[in-house]
């Protein structure tokens, strides 16, 4: 993996967006155990997920399709 400037990165940077708190906690816990995956943010709404993606360099987005403020 490499950044846009060509430098190597060690892990996939991931954001998880899910409105069900218990599932988000389980998913986050699982993602934290996977080598090569760095969970950089979680969100419970489309707006919060977009904000996280705007502020983080994200390689992987795990997105719920039915969220309270829109669909994924």
- For the chain, give every domain's residue range: 12-67
Give tens-digit pLDDT for 4-42.
565 566 899 999 999 999 999 999 999 999 999 999 999
Angle, CA 39 vertex, CA 48 and CA 20 arms, to 5° = 50
**Do 68 and 21 contact (CB within 8 A), yes or no?**
no
The whole-number pLDDT of residue 70 equals 87
The whole-number pLDDT of residue 32 equals 95
Model's pTM, two decimal places? 0.83
Instruction: Compute the distance between CA of residue 6 and CA of residue 9 in angstroms, rounded to an integer.
Output: 9
The whole-number pLDDT of residue 10 equals 84
| 56 contacts: CB under 8 Å, gap ≥ 6 | 13, 15, 40, 41
Domain at 12-67, CATH class? alpha beta
- How far is residue 28 from each of residues 3, 10, 40, 66, measured CA to CA in Å? 24, 19, 10, 18
Binning pLDDT at 50, 70 and 90, where does residue 71 land? confident
């Amino acid at each position: 993996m490499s950044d846009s400037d060509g430098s190597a990165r060690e892990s996939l940077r991931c954001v998880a967006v899910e409105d069900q708190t218990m599932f988000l906690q389980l998913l986050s816990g699982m993602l934290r155990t996977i080598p090569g995956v760095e969970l950089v943010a979680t969100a419970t709404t489309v707006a919060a997920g977009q904000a996280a993606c705007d502020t983080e360099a994200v390689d992987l987005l795990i997105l719920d399709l039915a969220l309270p403020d829109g669909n994924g």
